[in-house]
Amino acid sequence: MDIDSLFKVPKLPSGTKRKLPDNPSPEMLKKMRMDTSSTSSNGSAAPPNGASASSKGKSRAVTVEEVEDVDADRSFAPGGDADYFTEEDDEGRFFGGGLTSEQKEILNIFESAQNEEEEFQEDLEIMSLAAIKRILIRFERAASKNQDQRSKYPDDPTKFIDSEADLDAALKSLLPLAQSPIIAYPELVESGTIKVLIGLLAHENADIVIDVVEVIHELTDEDVGNEGEDEDDAENNQTALRILIEHLLENSIMELLVDNLSRLNESEESDRQGVFHILGIFENILGFDPKLATGLVANTKILPWLLTRIELKQYDENRGYAAELLSILLQDNTDNRLAFGKMDGVEACLKVISQYRRRDPADADETEFMENVFDTLCSALIERNIKDLFLAAEGPDLMVLIMKEKLQAMSRSIKTLDYAMSGTNGTAMCEAFIEALGLKTLFAALMGKTSKKQKQGSSPPANEDTQHVLGIILSLFANLPSDSPARIRVLAKFVESNYEKVDRLLDIRDHASNRLKATDADIEVEKKALIADGEEVGSEEQDAWYLRRLDGGLFNLQSVDYILAWIIMEDDGIRIHVERMLGRKNLSVRDIVNTLRIFYENVDEEPNADGNDGPERSLSQKEILYGLISALDTDTQS
C-alpha cells in the first residue's frame, strides 16, 4: 500500500481568481499607493466596483476608539431588559434579569401588594388603635369603590366584580375586631364605620349581606374579648358592647335584619348560614337587654316569620334556632304573648307538637326544638286570652293523647296542661281535660307508670313531672264546682284500689319532707355563720332561703298537703286512712295545717281574673288556703 497516496493533498480547483505576479510591476505599485491615499483621506474604504453610493460607510474598519464607544452606548440591552446595565456587579458580570420593562412593572405591582398584605396581617395581630384605624379605612375605601363602580356600570358585572371581591375581603378583616372591643368598638362608632357597615345590609349582592351579618354577629357576641381577661377588663368589654349595640339600634338594625330574612334562600348553604347568624344577632341583642323584645315584635315581622319557620316539617338547625328565639320573645312579656295569640301562634305550636304524638325526636337537637315549642306555649298560656284560644283549638285533647302514648313528649304535655289549667279561671279547661278522659292517664303518671312497660307502683315519677302532676290535681280541686260530676270523678280516683293514690301522695310527702330537712340544716348553718360574723339577717336573706326551701322539697310538700286537705275534708274514709298512715310516723293532720300556714303566709293575693265581684266569683288561692286551714283547725280541735 502506498502510504503517501493516502495523505496526498488534493489539488486545489482552478478558478478565475485574479493572481498577483511574483514581482509587481511599477504600474501596479503606483495604483496601490493611490488607493491607500484615497482611503486615508476619506476615513473609509472606497466602495468596491459596482457598489452604490448608499452603501458607503457600512464596511468601514473598526478602530480601538470605536470599540470603547460601544461600551458607552447604554441603549442596547438583550431582550429589552430595562435593568440590563444597572444590575451588573463591579466587574461587569450578571447583566440584568432577563425581564422587559413591562414584566418589571408587573413584578413590582405584585411585590407592592404582597408588602401591603404583610402590613395588614401585622395590623390584625397587633390590634392597636392605629392598626384598627387602618383596617377601618381599608374597609371604607373598599365599600366606597364598590358603590361607585356599581353606580357607573350597573349592567356590567365585569366592571365591579373585582371591587366586590375586595369588599368581601375587607368585611372579613373586621371579624378580629371582636378580640379588642375596648379599643375597636368606640372607634367603629366615632369614625362612622358602623353606619357604612349597616348600610351594606341593603347591598344588591346577597353574599355581601351575609358577610355583614356574620361580622355583626361576631361583634355582638356577649363573650367578646373575655377570653383570659380579668374582671375589670370584662366589665370594660361589656361597656364597649353596650356602646356598639346602642348605636346599632339607632340605625334600625332590627328592621334591616328582618327584611333580609325573607330575602335569603335557605336551600343555599351560604344563605342558610346567613339566616343562622341573623337569628344569633337577635339572641345577642335580647341577651343584652330583654326589654327590646317588645319593640322587635311590634316594629318588625319577626313573629310571623318565626311561626312559619317552625311549621316546616323537615328539621334543621335554623328551625331549632327559630323555636328558641320564639321562646325567648314570649318569656316574661305580656305584649308579645298577646301578639302571639293574634297571629294564630297557638294553632301553629299545636301543629308542630302533634308531630311528636307517635314518635320521639330523632336526636338531642330535635328534642331541644320540641321542648322550646312546648315552652313557648307554656309561656303564652299564662295569659287568659291564650287559654281561651288553646281550649278552642282542642289543646287539652291533644295533650291527653300525647300523655297516653307515653313517649318523650309526655312530660312536656303534662307541664303544658298544668299551665293551661292553673289560675282562677280554669274551670272550662279542667272540664275539657276530664271529658278528654285525662284522669286515667294523669293518675297513671302520679303512680309512676310513665312508660308502657312499667308496672304499677314501680317508682315515683321524676321530680319535675311530679310537680306538674300535683299542679294539675290542685287546679282540678280549685276550679271544679262542688258536687259537680267532674269533681266527684276526681275524688273517686283517690278512693279506688284501697286508697292507693292517697298512699302515693303520702310517699311523695315523705320524700319531700326528707329533702326539706336536709335543706333546712344547710340554711341553719349559714344563718349561724352570718350571726357569728356580726351580720344581720335581713329580708333579702330570708327571701333567698325561702326560694331554696321551695326547690329543696317545700314546693312538693305544700302541693301534697294542699291536696290532702281537700280530700280529707270531702271524704271521711280518706280522712281516717290518712290519719292512720300519718300516725305510724308520729305525724298528724296538724302537720298538714302547719305546712298550709307557711304556704298561706308566702302566697300573693291574686287579682280577680274573671272581673266578677259578686258571690259567684272565683276564689283566690289565698282565700282557699284560709278556708282549708280554718276547717282543719276546727276538726282537729273537736
User: 423-446 pLDDT, tens per residue?
Assistant: 877 889 999 999 999 999 999 999
100 strand-pairing partners: 81
Q: Which of 71, 41, 72, 45 is nearest to 56 (CA)?
A: 45
Neighbours of 582 (CB within 10 A): 18
Phi then psi for residue 458, to 5 deg, are -75, -50
- pLDDT of 159 reads 85
Cell numbers at 209, concatenated = 349581606
Count CB-CB contacts under 10 A for residue 76: 9
Chain-centroid distance of CA 327 in Å reads: 15
- List the grid coordinates of 607: 287579682
- What span, in angstroms and rounded, lies between the C-alpha atoms of 192 and 136? 10
**DSSP bridge pairs for 81:** 100
Residue tagged 339572641 (cell numbers): 283
- Selection from 566, 551, 576 nearest residue 596 by Cα: 566
C-alpha cell at 43: 476615513
CA distance 300 to 249: 13
In angstroms, how far is CA 391 from the centroid of its own chain? Answer: 35
Instruction: Give the Cα separation of 597 and 592 in Å (integer).
Output: 9
Q: What is the pLDDT of residue 433?
A: 96
User: In angstroms, how far is the first alpha carbon of the chain from the final one?
Assistant: 165
Per-residue pLDDT reduced to its tens digit, 487-531: 999 999 999 999 999 999 999 999 999 999 999 999 999 988 888
DSSP assignments along 130-171, one per residue: HHHHHHHHHHHHHHHHHHHHHHH-TT-HHHHHHHHHHHHHHH
In whole angstroms, what is the distance from residue 542 CA to residue 557 CA? 19
Q: How far apart are CA 568 and CA 632, in angstroms?
A: 9
Name every residue whose Cβ is closer than 8 Å to that of residue 160 and which is 6 or more positions away in sequence. Answer: 146, 149, 150, 153
Asked if residue 558 lies in contact with residue 508, where contact means CB atoms within 8 angstroms, the answer is no
Q: Is 104 exposed, middle or buried (0-12, 13-18, 19+ CB in 10 A)?
A: middle
* pLDDT tens per residue, range 380-412: 999 999 999 999 999 999 999 999 999 999 999
Task: Give one word for 137, left, alpha or beta, with left for phi > 0 and alpha for psi -120 to 50.
Answer: alpha
User: Which of 625, 608, 509 is CA-nearest to residue 562?
Assistant: 625
Residues 6+ apart with CB under 8 A from 532: none
Contact 373, 321 (CB under 8 A): no
- Quote the pLDDT of residue 51: 45
Grid coordinates in use for 498?
Answer: 284501697
Assess contact for 303 and 343: CB atoms under 8 A.
yes
Q: In this structure, which amino acid lies at residue 570?
A: E
Q: Which segments in the chain show pLDDT lower than 50?
A: 1, 6-7, 9-10, 12-21, 39-72, 94, 115, 119-121, 123-124, 228, 452-461, 609, 614-615
- Percentage helix, strand, coil for the chain under 3-state DSSP, each rounded to 5: 70, 0, 30
Measuring CA to CA, how many Å separate 380 from each of 298, 344, 476? 16, 12, 21
Phi, psi dihedrals of residue 552, rounded to the nearest 5°: -90, 20
Q: What is the dihedral of CA 79, 84, 87, 89, to 10 degrees?
A: 110
Q: Is the dihedral of CA 170, 176, 182, 185 positive or negative?
A: positive
CA pair distance 119, 206, nearest whole angstrom: 30
Q: Give the pLDDT score at 615.
A: 45
Looking up cell 299564662 gives: 382
What pLDDT does residue 64 have?
44
Instruction: Take residue 183 and report the three cell numbers written for it.
Output: 379599643
Q: List Cα–Cα distances, 45 to 18, 40, 69, 150, in angstroms.
A: 21, 8, 21, 71
From residue 379, how far is each of 200, 412, 420 by CA, in Å? 37, 13, 10
